[in-house]
Amino acid sequence: MEYEVNTVEAPGRNRVKLLGATYEKGKPSSVEEGLWRHKLEDRHQKLKYIEYAERYWYSNDWFGSEKRKNPA
């Protein structure tokens, strides 16, 4: 893949090279690629998937700077 490189002026510096888009343009080959509901069989699997995907909101475990000794 050929990368697009532009030369621009940066604040406080001379001209620098700036890397452009690094993705391949196109569309998904199938409409159903992003539809996760059709891949799961029953309600229990769907709820488990949502709970895992949204563990930031549903979990008692917190990571990084949000970890507290005493819950709010």
Separation between Cα atoms, residue 7 and residue 20, nearest integer Å: 10
- Flag residues of the chain having pLDDT under 70: 1, 28, 32-34, 57-72
Give me the pLDDT at residue 68, please: 62
Give me the pLDDT at residue 61, please: 64
Contacts of 67 (CB under 8 A, 6+ apart): none
Give me the pLDDT at residue 65, please: 55
Tell me the three-class secondary structure of 5-72, residue by residue.
EEEEECCCCCEEEEECCCCCCCCCCCHHHHCCCCCCCCHHHHHHHHHHHCHHHHCCCCCHHHCCCCCC
pLDDT tens by residue, 15-32: 999 998 888 777 767 776
Give me the pLDDT at residue 67, please: 61
